[in-house]
Structure 1
Amino acid sequence: MKLVILIWATLLGAHAEDSCVYKDIREYKKKLFSSNPVLDQVKLQKDATNSFVDKAKQRPNPALEFEYTRGDDFGLDTNNYDLKLLHVIEMGGKRSARMEQALARAKLESNQYDLYGSRKGLENLLKYQRGAQLEVLVKAMQEAIETFRSIIKKLESRKRLNPEEKVSLSTLKLALNDYTARLNDFKNEQDVLAGEVAFMGECKKLKFNYTPIKYPNIGVLELSEKQGMAAIEENKVEVARKLLKQEKSLAYPDLMVGPIVGYETKGADEFVSAGIGITFNAPFLNTNYGGKLQASKNLLAQQKTAKNNISLLKRKLNNQLKVYHQSLKTYQAMPSLSKIAKFHNEAEQLFRRGVVSIPMIIESHRQYVDYMDSRFETENDILNALMEIYIITGKKKLIEKLFN
C-alpha cells in the first residue's frame, strides 16, 4: 500500500512539474516571490545563521582533574588521591561580547542572503521578460522569412527576369540568409533563458508570453543606511566593532574555581582533606595587545570602506535613476507594438496588391524587426535600472507594484 501511494505521489509531482504553465509574467512573478529553489536555499541559509548565537551562548565545560601519587615514608607505603572539579568563569565579559559579535554576524549574513535572493528573483523576472520579447521577435522573423521565400519562389518560377528583378532576387536571398541566421540567434538565446526561467519556476517546460508593462514613475529617492546595500555596509562595520569588543575581553584571564577533595593513606592511617582551588593564567607576558590592535585597525579600515562604498552607492543610485527616467521617457514616446503591427500589416497588404516594390517590402520587414528589437532594448534598460535601484535602496514598493 505504501509503495502504491509513493508511486502515485511521484507521478502527481512529475505531472505537476510538466503541466506548470504561466500565462504571463504576472503569474510567473507570483510563483517566483512565493517559492523557488533559490528562495528555499536562502531560507535554509538564514536558519543556519541562527546557530551563530546558539554557539556563542555555550559556556565552557568544567574541568575534572584527578591525581594519584604513591611513595614510601620511612618504610610506610603512602598513597595520595586528589580530585578537582573546576568551573570556568569567563572574565572581562567574554560571553556577552561573543554573543554580541555572533548577533552582528548573523544579522549581516541574513541581510546578505535576503539581498542575494532578491537579486536572483529579479534577474529571473528580467529573463522571463527577455524570453517573451524574443518570442515576439521570433514570430516576426518567421513571418519575414516566409514572405521572402514566397517572393523568391515566384521570381525563380519566371523564365526571364529584368535587371531590377535580378537585383531584387539577389537582395532577397541575402536578406533571407541574414534573417535565418538572426532567427537562429534569437532561438538559441531564448532556449538558454527558458532553461534558467523554468528552473526558478520549477517547471520542465515553459512557454513565454509577452505582456506590455506600465512602468511606475519614480520620484526623488534618498539612500537610507537602514535598507538595501547601505545597510549591509553598516552591518559590516558593526561586526568589526563587536569583534574589537571581543578581542578586548580576551585581555582578561579566565578563572577556574572549584572544590578539591584529597584522600591520603600512610600505612594503616587514613586522612581526608577538602578545600577550594583557584586557577588562572597570570597576564605577565601579554594582555592580547596584538589581537586588540588588529581588530582596531580592521574596524578603521571597515569604516573607511563603508564610507567609500556608501558614497559610491549614492552616485550609482543617481545614475540609475537618470537611466531609468531617460529610458522611460523614450519608451513612452515610442509607438506601441500594436500600432507598429498595424502599420506593418498595411504595408503587407499593399505589397500583395503589387503597389509596393520588393526593395520596399524588404526594408519594411527590416524596420519592423529592428524597431521591436530597439524598443525591447529600451525596455530592458528600464528593467535593469529598476532592479539596481531596488537592490541599492531596498525599497520593496518599487517591485511590489511592478507586474501587477
Structure 2
Amino acid sequence: MKGNAFLLLSFLLSTGIQAQCNINSPSELLEMIKKNHPSISINKSKGHALEKSIDFADQTPNPELDAESTVGDSIEGNVYTTAVTLKHTFELGGKKGARVDVAKSNYKLGMAAARFENEDSLIDSIKRMHRLRQIYELIPLYEESLGAFNKILKTLKRRSSISPEQRVERETLELVTNDYKLKMSQLNSEKIKLSKHLTFFTGTNCIIPRNSLPNEVNLSESFDNNKKTDSYSKLNYAKSALELAQANYELEKSNSYPDLKIGPTFEYEKLNVSNTKTIGIALTFDLPIFNVNGGGRAKAAKEIIVASSQLKNIKLESELDLESWISTYRRYKDSLLTIATKEELEKKHTRIEALFKRGIISTSLVIESHRQLIEFSNTRFEFEIGAVEALWYIYKMKGQLNTKSI
C-alpha cells in the first residue's frame, strides 16, 4: 500500500501539478500582465540598452600616440632617430553635442515604439481574458444541451418500436449530439490554450482562476466627438521620428567641419657623439577641398521632409481611426444594451425546459431552443469582443490605456 502511494505521489509530481494563481480580481490579473508580459519585459530591456547609447555618444575620443624609431648610416657615422607625437582630437562643428542629440532622439523613438507594442500586447491580453470567461460560460450550455438530448435518446432507444417520425428524431439527435461533443472538445482546447497563454503572460506557473476574469464588458463609457489624439503612441512615434531626422541633419551639418588633431611632438637624433633634440606642435586635419559633406546634408534634409509627411498623414489617420473606433463602440454598446440579458435569457430557457419535461413541446423544438440559445450566446460574445476591442483602442488612441483598469 505504501509503495502504491509513493508511486502515485511520484507520478503527480512528475506531471507538474499546477495550483491556482493567487489572483482575486481582473484588475490584479491585468497588473501582473503589465509587469511580467514577455514582450513588455523585452521592450524594457531594449529601453535600457538605448539609454546606454547616450553615454556611448557622449564619449570623448582618446588621445592619439604616434611613435617612430629609425636607424641609418651616413658619411659621418650611424644615425639614430626617435620621434614621439601625442595628439588630441577636437571635434569641430559641435559634433559631440549633435551626436548626443541623435542618441537621445533615437532613445525617445525606441521608447515610443515600445509603448505602442506594449499597448497592443495589453489589448490582446484583455481580449483573451474576456474570451476565456466566455468559454467558461459556453461550456455549461453545451453540457446542459447534451444532457437534455441524451435523456431523449435514452427514452427513444428503450422503445421496442418507434414511428418513422421518432426514428428521424433519434437520428437527428445523434447528429446534433455528436456535433455538440466536437464543439465542446474545440472549446476545451481553446480554454487550455488561452489559460496557458495568460499564465505565461503573468510570469507564473499556475492556473488562472475564474474569479480573476472580467464578468462583463464595460458599456458605461460615452465619448464625445473630440478627435484629439496628441497622446496617441503611434503619433508620438511619428513625432519622435521627425525629431530624429532633424537631429541627424544637425549631425550631418557638424560633419561638414573636419576634426582637428593637435598636440606636442618630440624628436631625438643621435649622430656619433652629437645629439639633437627638437620639440614642436603637430597638427592634422582634413582639407575640405573635394567635399564638405554636401551629400550627407542633402540626404538628411530629404529625410526630414519624409518624416514630416509621415507625421502629417499619421495625424490625419489617427483622427479618422479614433472616429471609427468610437462609432464601432457605440454600435456594439447599443446592440448589447437592447438585446436580452443573460439573466433574462436564462429565465426563458428555464421555462422552455419546464414545458419540455411536462411533454408540452416536441423534441424538434427542444433541439431548436438549445441551438438558438447557443447561437445567441455566440453572437452576443462576438459583439462583446468587438466592444472590448473598440473600447481599449479608444483608450490607446487617447493615451489613457495605462491608467484604465478592467
* TM-score, length-scaled by structure 1: 0.90
Shift of 1:313: 1.9
Of 375, 381, 397 in structure 2, the residue corresponding to residue 392 of structure 1 is 397
Shift of 1:41: 2.5
For structure 1, which segment, 335-344 or 377-386, has the greater mean C-alpha deviation from structure 2 after superposition?
335-344
CA contact (8 A) 1:25 1:129 kept: no
Q: Which residue of 1 aligns with 2:3?
A: none
Q: Which residue of 2 aligns with 1:152?
A: 153
Q: Which amino acid aligns with 1:68?
A: S
- CA–CA separation in structure 1 for the residues paired with 2:54 and 2:217: 45
Shift of 1:158: 0.8
CA contact (8 A) 1:229 1:391 kept: no
Instruction: Find the residue that maps to 1:85 and give its secondary structure.
Output: strand
Count matched residues: 388
Q: Which residue of 2 aligns with 1:229?
A: 234
Shift of 1:17: 7.0
Q: Are 1:203 and 2:208 an aligned pair? A: no
CA contact (8 A) 1:65 1:85 kept: yes
- CA–CA separation in structure 2 for the residues paired with 1:383 and 1:338: 21
Relative to structure 1, the CA distance from residue 53 to residue 17 in structure 2 (aligned partners, 3 Å threshold; closer, same or farther) is farther
Shift of 1:402: 4.0
Of 234, 243, 267 in structure 2, the residue corresponding to residue 238 of structure 1 is 243
Of 212, 217, 231 in structure 2, the residue corresponding to residue 213 of structure 1 is 217
CA contact (8 A) 2:146 2:180 kept: yes
5+ residue gaps, structure 1: 1-14
CA contact (8 A) 2:217 2:384 kept: no
For structure 1, which segment, 18-27 or 174-183, has the greater mean C-alpha deviation from structure 2 after superposition?
18-27
Q: Which amino acid aligns with 2:87?
A: L
> Deviation digits for residues 250-269 of structure 1, max 9, x if unmatched?
11100001111111112111
Instruction: Find the residue that maps to 1:302 and give its secondary structure.
Output: helix
For structure 1, which segment, 267-276 or 160-169, has the greater mean C-alpha deviation from structure 2 after superposition?
160-169
Q: Which residue of 2 aligns with 1:3?
A: none
Q: Which residue of 1 aligns with 2:4?
A: none
- CA–CA separation in structure 1 for the residues paired with 2:24 and 2:165: 47
Relative to structure 1, the CA distance from residue 226 to residue 145 in structure 2 (aligned partners, 3 Å threshold; closer, same or farther) is closer
Q: Are 1:290 and 2:291 an aligned pair? A: no
Shift of 1:104: 0.4
For structure 1, which segment, 342-351 or 20-29, has the greater mean C-alpha deviation from structure 2 after superposition?
20-29
Q: Are 1:372 and 2:374 an aligned pair? A: no
Q: Which residue of 2 aligns with 1:65?
A: 66
Shift of 1:286: 1.2
Instruction: Find the residue that maps to 1:274 and give its secondary structure.
Output: strand
Identity %: 26
For structure 1, which segment, 169-178 or 262-271, has the greater mean C-alpha deviation from structure 2 after superposition?
169-178
Relative to structure 1, the CA distance from residue 62 to residue 121 in structure 2 (aligned partners, 3 Å threshold; closer, same or farther) is same
Q: Which residue of 2 aligns with 1:7?
A: none
- CA–CA separation in structure 2 for the residues paired with 1:318 and 1:167: 53
5+ residue gaps, structure 2: 1-15
For structure 1, which segment, 111-120 or 356-365, has the greater mean C-alpha deviation from structure 2 after superposition?
111-120
Shift of 1:119: 1.7
Q: Which residue of 2 aligns with 1:179?
A: 180
- CA–CA separation in structure 1 for the residues paired with 2:369 and 2:282: 96
Instruction: Find the residue that maps to 1:39 and give its secondary structure.
Output: helix
CA contact (8 A) 2:332 2:383 kept: yes
- CA–CA separation in structure 2 for the residues paired with 1:82 and 1:145: 97
CA contact (8 A) 2:261 2:285 kept: yes
Pairwise CA RMSD: 2.1
Instruction: Find the residue that maps to 2:263 and give its secondary structure.
Output: strand
Q: Which residue of 2 aligns with 1:300?
A: 305
Relative to structure 1, the CA distance from residue 315 to residue 227 in structure 2 (aligned partners, 3 Å threshold; closer, same or farther) is closer
Instruction: Find the residue that maps to 2:277 and give its secondary structure.
Output: strand
For structure 1, which segment, 111-120 or 252-261, has the greater mean C-alpha deviation from structure 2 after superposition?
111-120
For structure 1, which segment, 46-55 or 21-30, has the greater mean C-alpha deviation from structure 2 after superposition?
21-30
Shift of 1:149: 1.1
Relative to structure 1, the CA distance from residue 218 to residue 269 in structure 2 (aligned partners, 3 Å threshold; closer, same or farther) is farther
- CA–CA separation in structure 2 for the residues paired with 1:105 and 1:278: 34
